[in-house]
Amino acid sequence: MRHMTARARDEEHRASTPLELFFDLCFVVAVAQAGARLVHSLAEGHVGSGVIGYVFVFWGIWWAWMNFTWFASAYDVDDVPYRVATLVQICGVLIYAAGVPRAFSENDWTIAVIGYLVMRLALTCQWLRAAASEDRGSRARRTAVRYAVGVAVCQAAWVGLLWAPEGTRRWLFLVVGIAEMLVPVVAERAQETPWHPHHIEERYGLFTLIVLGETMSAATVAVQSALDEHEALDRLLPIAGGGILIVFAAWWVYFAAPVHQRLASDREAIPWGYGHLAIFGSAAAIGAGLEVAVEQAVGEAHISARAAGAAVCVPTGVFLLVVWLLHARHFKRGLAEQLVLPFTSVAVVCCLFAGEWAVPAAGLAAAAAVAVGVTLAARIPEDGSGGSGGPVRGLPPAGAEGAADAGEGPR
């Protein structure tokens, strides 16, 4: 077993490994479980409890994925112990996925916490191995030890939560969740882990694709099931068409420009990385909303057409707005470009008032936003001035690429 030495932030051709892709695909199971429970809650009209349950279980999915992704970006040595530890974490993911229904519907987190325990034991061992591979007394060693201790303490808190009174669990969940999210903030004060900006950008992009793919799959299965039992093609086709336009627009907006040059330090990376909870969660919720809209169209959901439209329009609006806040606004030039996504997010949410035509209306609004954005971007002069002193959207300023690759951003 060799030392788990940190990878270089300026490493060329840093790409996701087959093991990382396998890890991501296993999370589809958990995402699908969370989406299925959300569909059931919304279709029955239990909006409040459904949304709260979804946010809690999806946070657990996202945070487990985050923990592995950023560690792997810095310390993936791809040897046998590393692979075994990662496969153990995958087992934990599957156990967590099996516990999602009980955690969602009954507030019973026993199986979910067991899954987390399996994941965190492996992750803690990974951090301790990384610490042992660093020079004694070094800042990198101190960072790795802080991560190991923080992860272990928080996991002990999750286990303790199982014995808390049922009425207090969700409030205590918030406390422990905040503590979890503070671990990287505290640990990296000693020294940033050498995660790779290009690699992180790719990893987040791939997980976004996986979630959007799950959304498309869920909507397709819902339409197919409805067609098998009902003759409602005239009602289902507009929903399917609107859903496709929404997913296509979501893909276009998210991947409109590269982000690695902005991921130069934790000052940029932590808000960007944490903000993806809303992006991933809303993207998956769009698929659940499309299923609800299909069920309502064929009379299987006990809710109004407006409520079914809201199940799609609200998460779509959230997705567009958060993508703009975290990323897109930094590449926009001029007031007109800046207002496209915020205005569209509001317009999409307002589409819920269109009743049974809410989904196709939202799809058209999202597609129109892409068309307007492309048109405005095409009007930027070829010299890159854009009329506001900045570079062309998607192209870094002169010299920025190398600085970002080497991780030489503001500290």
- 214-265: pLDDT as tens digits: 888 877 877 787 777 666 777 888 888 999 999 999 999 999 877 777 776 5
pTM of the model: 0.87
The crossing angle, in degrees rounded to 10, of helices 110-133 and 139-161 is 170
Angle between helices 47-75 and 18-43 (to 10 degrees): 170
Classify 139 as helix, strand or coil. helix
Average pLDDT, the chain: 85
* Residue from 144, 87, 143 nearest 118 by CA: 87
Q: Which amino acid is at 129?
A: R
pLDDT tens digits, 150-197: 999 999 999 999 998 877 888 899 999 999 999 999 998 878 888 888
In sequence order, the 6+-apart residues with CB closer than 8 A to the CB of 209 are 251
Average pLDDT over residues 2-24: 84
Domains with residue ranges and CATH for the chain: 18-187 (no CATH), 197-405 (1.20.1410)
Ordered alpha helix ranges (H), 134-230: 139-161, 169-187, 197-229
